[in-house]
A and B are shown apart, each in its own frame.
Chain A
């Protein structure tokens, strides 16, 4: 499958040069105990956006899930298949919800609070929209 990524918002030209190249992560890794080793690591992950903030054009916070429609047709993904992405200051994301996006940012495993299990968080720094998939 050919993937052409379009660099969208929040792309600072120097970022790609100076930052350590992010570790690509897939969703199965997040389900396994190996996920623990990712805490604090810059990662790059492909997923779908569930916009939480209500601005129609930009979001600063959203959920990243592995499948589109995860919110309606089947039980919602388990806690280790949902990542709460908070965009870093000044980095805003366009609402994209019908095609996958690559999110690059620092992965953090939060303290498990409430009742629903693990907490995966990502401080999003850069979003690329996958145009054809």
Chain B
């Protein structure tokens, strides 16, 4: 105990170097554990976004791209698929339910999703949680819009407010707005902590209505547009959607349905199994994760070496301290223990600081990351792997402590007592 307090006092006496050493170890520990936490958090968050869906179908393209734009609202589709094709598979005898998505428009940077009431009924996340309404009701009119909880919170919208949809996906107000056909908020969804929160939901008819009268990719001339009041579900025809989620009546049919969709003759389609696509995603990202982990291990080694250098060089200044300790009866073993105790204290403090930084930073940046990358990083307890890292840091500190300790051990008793000028 005396030893620990001595070590502590000695470190306290050298506040600046101690502080810097702890900080550098803390930073490297934070990096190491941060990478681990983000990795696990991202996986958790991705896997929890979609549940109980057997197939995701869209226009032919990349499997990952289809997964990202359909489920995570990242990136965009290369093409739409025809509504007739969708109806064909919706009515397929092996299909239990489908959820259509019509994408491509936005409101103040949030994506607008055209869908049907199947979405509110069948969409599942976090294994078996379903979409719930915090306020309001299902959209049933052409110009009804339902907001995800983040959208409502960020834009301070409530039921009854008007919403103008922007053509294309852009941040801010946008340039080309569908302002001749404003929508009205009829409901706000409960928070799900998934990308569902960051979208606005309209009906497929609503999506079709704002693009009615458009020709060759440009909006109708002023005065030529059909007034919103004249639009009814009868005179609007849904022509296309972007993708759809599908659940088979029996999951054993998944592979055969996938094959049937992928080889559909009328239109090039692509169908993916979310579980398989995610597994592929993890495998792809795995290399980058490994590289990051290797880099952070090296950063940690640099941090620990920094500690070694600072302690080793400080030994010169501390000759007198050591000599006094020896003179008042501390044996060479005590000196070794003292120095090792110092490095253990330093590395433990660094590890603690690192963990603190990880939690501090993740709390600070969580909303930002969610807003920009659509990734909800849960603040979760440390993984087993992280504890192994922390233990390794302290053990490394202990081992490193022996280097200056042996040097001090070898210094003669008289070394620090004789005054050299």
Residues of A within 8 A of B (CB): 50-57, 59, 61-63, 65, 70-71, 75-77, 79, 82-84, 95, 97-98, 110, 113-116, 119-121
Q: Which residue of A lies closest to B260 (CB)?
A: A76
CB B385 to nearest CB in A, in angstroms, measures: 13
Report yes or no: B275 in contact with A59, Cβ–Cβ below 8 A. Answer: yes
Q: Is the CB of B255 within 8 A of A76?
A: yes
Known contacts A50-B273, A71-B258, A76-B258, A84 near B278 by CB under 8 Å: no
Q: How large is the interface on B (under 10, 10 to 19, 20 to 34, 35 or more residues)?
A: 20 to 34
Within 8 A of A (CB), among B21-63: 43-44, 46-48, 50-51, 53-54
Contacts of B253 in A (CB 8 A): 114-116
Contacts A51-B275, A115-B94 known; 18 new A-B pairs at CB < 8 A: A50-B255, A51-B273, A51-B278, A54-B274, A56-B46, A61-B251, A63-B251, A70-B255, A71-B258, A75-B259, A76-B259, A83-B252, A84-B250, A84-B251, A95-B279, A114-B94, A114-B249, A115-B93
Q: Please measure, in the bound complex, the distance between the C-alpha atom of A84 and the C-alpha atom of B250, giving whole angstroms.
A: 9
Which residues of A sit under 8 angstroms from B275, Cβ to Cβ? 50-54, 59, 62, 95
How far, in Å, is A114 (CB) from chain B's closest CB?
5
Which of B43, B254, B276 is packed against the most chain A CB atoms within 10 Å? B276
A51 CB contacts on chain B under 8 angstroms: 273, 275-276, 278-279
Measured between alpha carbons, how far is A114 from B127 in the docked complex, in Å? 25
Nearest B residue to A59 via CB reads B275
B45 to A, closest residue via Cβ: A56
* Cα separation A71 to B282 with both chains bound (whole Å): 18
Q: Does B256 contact A (CB under 8 A)?
A: yes
A63 to B127 CA separation, bound complex (whole angstroms): 18
Task: Tell me which residues across on chain A come within 8 A of B279, comparing CB atoms.
Answer: 51, 56, 95, 97
Provide the main secondary structure of the chain B interface.
helix
* Contact A56 B278, beta carbon cutoff 8 Å: yes
Identify which of A54, A57, A63, A113 contacts B255 (C-beta below 8 A): A63
C-alpha gap A35/B53 in the complex (Å) = 30
Q: How long is the Cα–Cα vector from A95 to B43 in the complex, in angstroms?
A: 13
Shortest CB distance A45–B (Å) = 15
A95 to B280, CA, bound (A): 11
A63 contacts B256, CB within 8 Å? Answer: no
Distance of A50 Cα from B272 Cα, bound (Å): 12
Chain A contacts for B47, CB-based, 8 A: 54-57
B283 — which chain A residues lie within 8 A by C-beta? 98
Q: How far is it, in angstroms, between the C-alpha of A51 and the C-alpha of B274 when the chains are bound?
A: 9
Residue of A nearest to B46 (CB): A56
- Asked if B278 contacts A71 (CB within 8 A), the reply is no
